């Protein structure tokens, strides 16, 4: 039971990250490596604010804002500086390493004794006794559902439709008398905001900030997006955002099962191999190349 | 009224491959005029459209739309007043979005794209009214993704979408070239109908000489960045395909072909 709950917790947290990656990879068609930096950015913001005694729930908003700012920087480098999309992300990812260290102070910030969004006097006073053991998963479910619903709402708005259009056909956006660069920057801001939010929640769940916690975040995000969208591609009633979160839980379950038989240092290799398997099975790349031809 | 005044345009300026396309080129299109432009490849037809729309920069000269100098204006800003249909049917629509979503996007052109709902149920019947005269059955497929439509269907949509909101100028860039003859005919008739109904000032580049002769009230033939034929009104009515072909051949001989 604990095993399953841990998978759900991690899967849902990374599900929020996957929502962000879904925006860049699927909607904007932008291979955004900023994720590897904005995920720990959210964690660094969260850890440094919590050690200063700020209300942990406020750190969620602050992390989102910080991530959005990182996304805007990537967007500006790409749109205004005319740097290739992949390189813009790499530049920001590299820069963020130092920025994260500066924000957190050191490469490792434990927040074990502090109040977090999962463990605080408010929850202890108001949550029924019976639910207390499940408070972590409860809070995570609520946050993931809110993120998903807000993103769904945004995607069906006029601004969201323009965002979907820009990845599909940026000429059309220009024809609609809108600056396609600004729309891209907006998309990157929302995506990296969500990714940083996931980092913030992850940091509080693990009760520690670790500078290298973002390494490979983009791989996990991409794998979740690809699994989710290819499992449910024929079911139109399931929204892509839901599919992506389920994909993330599925991916976390696969790694968790695999990790039972391996050492912790094998983690990254398993992540990489699983991602490759997902790619080969889903054949997502071929479809993408074809539809862009 | 659209005016191109003393346009100079070089490709690869400052290099060995420098090529001068327009040298002191000027063109005035009166309000409500429908200009057909023909010419061989490389004669500057599409470059002229790109210059009007701001897709490519110019070395000197000015572009004036209804008395307002738009030379320095960015492409997306000019599009507030200009509608454009491209040769490639995929350029005018979003393949992964439904017909309804595409129409809604175009319907909102010129307004703010904010957090309000992207599609408005109350407008669906209006969109269907626009689609019905096409006789392509699109009005019953509002929730079908545009990517699964044929090139002709997409081009018809692109044409509708670019003329849905009030624009001052319509730019058609070989918009029937990628279509089969029958579909091209349908799109061309639709174009003529829309242009007449909305009294749009239009400039159409085409390789189809028959369309150039049949449609529009002014005919321009371009060669090496200059207008070698430019006739309107009764003079244009008198022009036949053969006349244009003769001129085409003359030019080809000059070029040594």
Give the pLDDT score at A293: 39
| B96–chain A Cβ distance below 8 A for any pair | yes
Residues of B in contact with A173 (CB under 8 A): 76
Test B110 with A178 for CB contact under 8 angstroms: no
Give the pLDDT score at B256: 58
| A29–chain B Cβ distance below 8 A for any pair | no
| A266–chain B Cβ distance below 8 A for any pair | no
Test A161 with B105 for CB contact under 8 angstroms: yes
How far, in Å, CA of A74 to CA of A90, rounded?
9
| A291–chain B Cβ distance below 8 A for any pair | yes
Residues of B in contact with A181 (CB under 8 A): none
- How close B249 gets to chain A, by Cα (Å)? 36
Q: Give me the residue from B74, B114, B147 closest to A158, CB to CB.
A: B114
CA–CA distances in Å: residue B89 to residues A20, B84, B150, B166, B185 = 31, 12, 9, 22, 15
Write out chain A in H/E/C secondary structure: CHHHHHHHHHHHHHHHHHHHHHHHHHHCCCCCCCHHHHHHHHHHHHHHHHHCCCCHHHHHHHHHHHHHHHHHHHHHHHHCCCCCHHHHHHHHHHHHHHHHHHHHCCCEEECCCCCCCCCCHHHHHHCCHHHHHHHHHHHHHHHHHHHHHHHHHHHCEHHHHHHHHHHHCHHHHHHCCCCHHHHHHHHHHHHHHHHHHHHHHHHHHHCEEEHHHHCCHHHHHHHHHHHHHHHCCCCCCCCHHHHHHHHHHHHHHHHHHHHCCCCHHHHHHHHHHHHHHHHHHHCHHHHHHHHHC
- How close A155 gets to chain B, by Cα (Å)? 8
Q: Give me the residue from B80, B95, B118 closest to A177, CB to CB.
A: B80
Q: Which of residues 164-193 of A touch B (CB under 8 A)?
A: 164-165, 168-169, 171-180
Give the pLDDT score at A292: 46
Test B77 with A177 for CB contact under 8 angstroms: yes
State mean pLDDT over B149-168. Answer: 92
Q: What is the mean pLDDT of each run of 10 residues along chain A (293 residues)?
A: 91 97 94 96 96 94 98 97 95 96 94 90 83 89 96 95 92 93 96 97 95 91 92 81 94 88 85 85 59 45
Residues of B in contact with A180 (CB under 8 A): 76
| B75–chain A Cβ distance below 8 A for any pair | yes
Instruction: Identify which has the larger pLDDT, B95 or A278.
Output: B95
CA nearest to A180 within chain B: B76
Residues of B in contact with A161 (CB under 8 A): 97, 101, 104-105, 113, 118-119
Q: Give me the residue from B95, B117, B119 closest to A168, CB to CB.
A: B95
ipTM for this model? 0.88
* Tens-place pLDDT, residues B43-87: 889 899 999 999 999 999 999 998 889 999 999 999 999 999 999
pLDDT surpassing 50 at residue B167: yes
| A287–chain B Cβ distance below 8 A for any pair | no
- How close B7 gets to chain A, by Cα (Å)? 24
Residues of A in contact with B76 (CB under 8 A): 173-174, 177-180
State mean pLDDT over B82-105. Answer: 93
Q: Give me the residue from A157, A175, A178 closest to B115, CB to CB.
A: A157
pLDDT surpassing 60 at residue B2: yes
State mean pLDDT over B115-127. Answer: 91
Residues of A in contact with B86 (CB under 8 A): 171
Give the pLDDT score at A12: 97
| A135–chain B Cβ distance below 8 A for any pair | no
Give the pLDDT score at B253: 72
| B121–chain A Cβ distance below 8 A for any pair | no
pTM of the predicted structure, to 2 decimals? 0.90
């Amino acid at each position: 039971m604990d095993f399953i709950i841990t998978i759900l917790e991690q899967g849902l947290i990374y599900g929020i990250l996957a929502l962000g990656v879904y925006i860049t990879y699927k909607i904007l068609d932008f291979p955004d490596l900023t994720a590897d930096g904005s995920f720990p950015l959210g964690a660094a913001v969260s850890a440094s604010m919590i050690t200063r005694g700020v209300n942990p729930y406020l750190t969620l908003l602050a992390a989102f804002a910080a991530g959005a700012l990182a996304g805007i920087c990537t967007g500006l480098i790409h749109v205004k500086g005319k740097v290739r999309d992949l390189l813009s992300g790499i530049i920001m990812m590299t820069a963020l390493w130092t920025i994260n260290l500066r924000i957190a102070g050191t490469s490792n910030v434990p927040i074990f004794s502090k109040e977090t969004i999962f463990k605080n006097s408010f929850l202890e006073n108001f949550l029924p006794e019976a639910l207390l053991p499940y408070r972590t998963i409860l809070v995570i479910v609520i946050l993931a559902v809110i993120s998903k619903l807000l993103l769904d709402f945004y995607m069906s708005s006029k601004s969201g439709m323009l965002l979907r259009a820009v990845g599909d056909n940026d000429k059309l956006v220009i024809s609609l008398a809108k600056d396609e660069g600004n729309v891209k920057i907006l998309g990157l801001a929302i995506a990296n905001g969500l990714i940083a939010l996931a980092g913030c929640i992850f940091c509080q769940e693990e009760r520690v900030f670790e500078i290298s916690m973002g390494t490979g975040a983009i791989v996990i995000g991409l794998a979740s997006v690809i699994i989710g969208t290819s499992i449910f591609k024929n079911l139109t009633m399931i929204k892509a955002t839901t599919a992506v979160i389920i994909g993330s839980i599925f991916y976390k379950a696969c790694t968790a099962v695999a990790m039972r038989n391996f050492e912790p240092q094998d983690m990254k290799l398993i992540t990489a191999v699983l991602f490759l398997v997902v790619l080969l099975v889903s054949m997502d790349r071929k479809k993408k190349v074809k539809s862009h031809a | 009224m659209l005016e191109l005044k003393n346009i100079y345009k070089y490709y690869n300026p400052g290099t060995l491959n420098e090529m001068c396309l327009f040298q002191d080129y000027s063109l005035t299109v009166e309000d409500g005029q429908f200009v057909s432009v023909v010419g061989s490849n490389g004669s500057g037809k599409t470059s002229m459209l790109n210059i009007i729309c701001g897709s490519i920069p110019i070395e000197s000269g000015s572009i004036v739309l209804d008395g307002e100098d738009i030379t320095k204006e960015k492409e997306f800003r000019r599009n507030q007043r200009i509608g454009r249909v491209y040769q490639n049917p995929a350029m005018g629509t979003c393949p992964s979005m439904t017909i309804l979503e595409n129409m809604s996007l175009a319907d909102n052109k010129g307004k703010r794209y904010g957090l309000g709902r992207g599609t408005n149920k109350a407008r669906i019947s209006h969109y269907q009214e626009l689609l019905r005269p096409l006789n392509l059955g699109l009005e019953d497929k509002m929730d079908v993704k545009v990517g699964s439509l044929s090139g002709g269907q997409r081009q018809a949509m692109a044409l509708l979408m670019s003329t849905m909101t009030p624009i001052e100028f319509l730019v058609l860039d070989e918009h029937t070239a990628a279509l089969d003859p029958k579909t091209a005919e349908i799109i061309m008739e639709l174009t003529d109908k829309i242009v007449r109904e909305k009294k749009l000032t239009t400039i159409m580049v085409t390789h189809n000489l028959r369309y150039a002769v049949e449609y529009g009230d002014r005919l321009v033939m371009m060669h090496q960045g200059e207008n070698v034929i430019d006739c309107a009104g009764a003079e244009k009515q008198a022009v036949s395909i053969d006349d244009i072909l003769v001129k085409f051949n003359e030019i080809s001989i000059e070029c040594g072909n």
